């Protein structure tokens, strides 16, 4: 893996393929990449099926949390979903914001956008919109959103600082986000860190938990809260594609942890003059 442009193209190509995979294959792998495990049925994703607005056709099994469950969405809110995929989180958000609100999904994979738009058409939703674009430069005006959600996407973006800055820009004053993502505590083995499949698989693109939380603080957010945390265990039959038996043992005993976190933060009332948010 090399520069940011190459990493983005890797993700775009891989997620164009993932859009055509079935949910079971995606759940038995790391975000649809890196091969399927026969040891573990569901490596990362949480169960959406009990949430109002859930649509099976839009659930590709690619998430690592339930951000919409924690996002405090109110009727009439404008909600933006980053990396909206086939539309799963958008449709759950729409159930909460109702017919008087609006939901905008942003994704830079054309196959995902097409799938999401087809799902919205079938459901007859005229207040759920899917826009093709890069979340490092969102096709959304400043101060437009009440709530931003995202599910296991920021780890796929090389420049996470840019994305967090964009979230700040598009949120209204006192707007907030709830984002589920993958973070690390400790260092991954080099072969795992350098594997393209594990970057697309939401693992090797993850940063340290402390750094992740600091980027949010440095962007100007307040009320930063860790809403949920769970450890992600990558099964041995996937690790063997990248590590020797000895390296797997060393990794398991190293103390390194891979975690799914759901983080809440709010944009303050007053922000830096000239930033476009006041």
Which single residue is written with the structure tokens 């209204």?
Answer: 172
Q: What is the DSSP letter of 154?
A: G
- pLDDT by residue (tens digit) across 155-171? 999 999 999 999 999 99
Share above pLDDT 70 across residues of the chain, in percent, rounded to a whole number: 96
Q: Residue 244 domain-assigned?
A: no
pLDDT exceeds cutoff 70 at 181: yes
Residue 68 domain-assigned? Answer: yes
Tally of domains in the chain: 1
pLDDT at 225: 98
Cβ atoms < 10 Å from Cβ of 3 = 9
Of 41-50, 81-90, 176-185, least confident by mean pLDDT is 41-50
Give the pLDDT confidence score for residue 40 in this predicted structure. 80
pLDDT per position as a tens digit, 124-166: 999 999 999 999 999 999 999 999 999 999 999 999 999 999 9
- Give me the chain's average pLDDT, please: 93
Q: Per-residue pLDDT for 271 more than 60?
A: no
Q: Does residue 251 lie within any of the structural domains?
A: no
pLDDT over 80 (residue 277): no
Q: End-to-end CA distance of the chain, in Å?
A: 40
Looking up residue 162, the CATH number of its domain turns out to be 3.40.50.150
Phi-psi region of 116 (alpha: psi -120 to 50; beta: other; left: phi over 0): alpha
Residues 6+ apart with CB under 8 A from 268: 173, 174, 220, 221, 222
Is the pLDDT at 18 greater than 90, yes or no?
no
Q: Is the pLDDT of residue 274 over 70?
A: no
**Residues 268, 174: contact at Cβ < 8 Å?**
yes
Length of the chain equals 278
Strand order, beta sheet including 128-132:
128-132, 102-107, 78-82, 145-151, 171-185, 257-266, 222-231
pLDDT band at 14 (very low <50, low <70, confident <90, very high): confident
Q: Which residues contact 210 (CB under 8 A, 6 or more apart)?
A: none
Is residue 37 in some structural domain? Answer: yes
Residue 51's domain comprises 4-230+256-266
Q: Rg of the Cα trace of the chain?
A: 18
The two three-digit tokens of residue 216, written as one number:
């949010």
Residue 275 lies in a domain: no
Q: Tokens 């792998």, residue?
A: 29
Average pLDDT over residues 86-92: 97
């Amino acid at each position: 893996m090399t520069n940011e442009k190459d990493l983005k193209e890797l993700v775009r190509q891989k997620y164009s393929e993932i859009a055509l995979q079935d949910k079971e294959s995606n759940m038995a792998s790391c975000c649809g990449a890196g091969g399927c495990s026969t040891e573990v049925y569901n490596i990362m994703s949480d169960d959406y099926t009990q949430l109002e607005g859930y649509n099976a056709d839009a659930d590709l099994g690619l998430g690592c949390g339930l951000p919409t469950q924690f996002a405090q969405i109110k009727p009439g809110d404008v909600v933006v979903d980053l990396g909206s995929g086939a539309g799963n989180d958008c449709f759950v958000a729409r159930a909460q914001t109702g017919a008087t609100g609006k939901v905008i999904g942003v994704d830079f994979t054309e196959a995902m956008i097409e799938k999401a738009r087809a799902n919205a058409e079938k459901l007859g939703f005229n207040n759920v919109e899917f826009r093709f674009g890069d979340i490092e430069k969102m096709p959304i005006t400043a101060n437009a959103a009440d709530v931003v959600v995202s599910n296991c996407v920021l780890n796929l973006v090389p420049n996470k600082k840019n994305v967090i800055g964009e979230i700040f820009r598009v949120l209204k004053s006192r707007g907030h986000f709830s984002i589920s993502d993958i973070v690390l505590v400790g260092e991954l083995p080099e072969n795992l860190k350098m594997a393209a499949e594990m970057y697309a698989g939401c693992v090797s693109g993850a940063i340290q938990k402390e750094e992740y939380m600091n980027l949010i603080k440095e962007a100007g957010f307040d009320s930063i809260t860790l809403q949920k945390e769970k450890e992600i265990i990558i099964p041995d039959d996937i690790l063997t594609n990248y590590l020797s038996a000895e390296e797997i043992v060393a990794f398991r005993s190293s103390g390194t942890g891979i975690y799914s976190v759901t983080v809440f933060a709010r944009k303050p009332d007053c922000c830096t003059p000239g930033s476009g948010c006041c």
